[in-house]
Each structure stands twice: as C-alpha cells, then as structure tokens.
Amino acid sequence: MYQAELNQSFPLMVAAVKKTQMIHGDTANIDELESLTAPIKEQATDMLHDQGLSIDDYVLFPVHPWQYQHILPNVFGERD
C-alpha cells in the first residue's frame, strides 16, 4: 500500500514519546528532529495539556502511518 515504487505521497503521523523512554547520545539529533516537528508543536502541546501532560517531557517523532497503526501500539501502548 505504501510502496516507494508507487511514487505516492501520504501524510506522516506524529508520535509523542516520553523522554524517559528514550536512549540517545547526541543532542544534535534531537534538535534536528524538533525542527522537523516544529510546525505541529503547538497542536501537540495542546493535545498533551488536555491529557494533563507536558510537552517538555516528550519528543515528537514523525512516523509512517503503517508503523503508527501496527507497530507503536505494540511497542509503547497508548499512554506509556
């Protein structure tokens, strides 16, 4: 359905992952990631706030729709 050879575009999903659930070394990678997700940060901030959560505790990741639907629920659950 999302094969590269089909040359079709699709919207990416965004996952908010707790910083405490991450292992990373170079903060430059986090800065680059944050620049990619900057356009939706305000919306994500509002959505997390509505759930009593703070954006400061999360990193936003762009995710392929198939991964969002099939992989992330098994790895992280809905609110881990």
For 4-19, what is each residue's pLDDT tens digit? 677 777 888 888 988 8
Residue found by looking up tokens 């099939």 in the block: 70
What CA–CA distance (Å, rounded) separates 26 from 22? 12
- Summarize the confidence of residues 56-65 as an average pLDDT: 89
pTM: 0.69
SS3 category, 51: coil
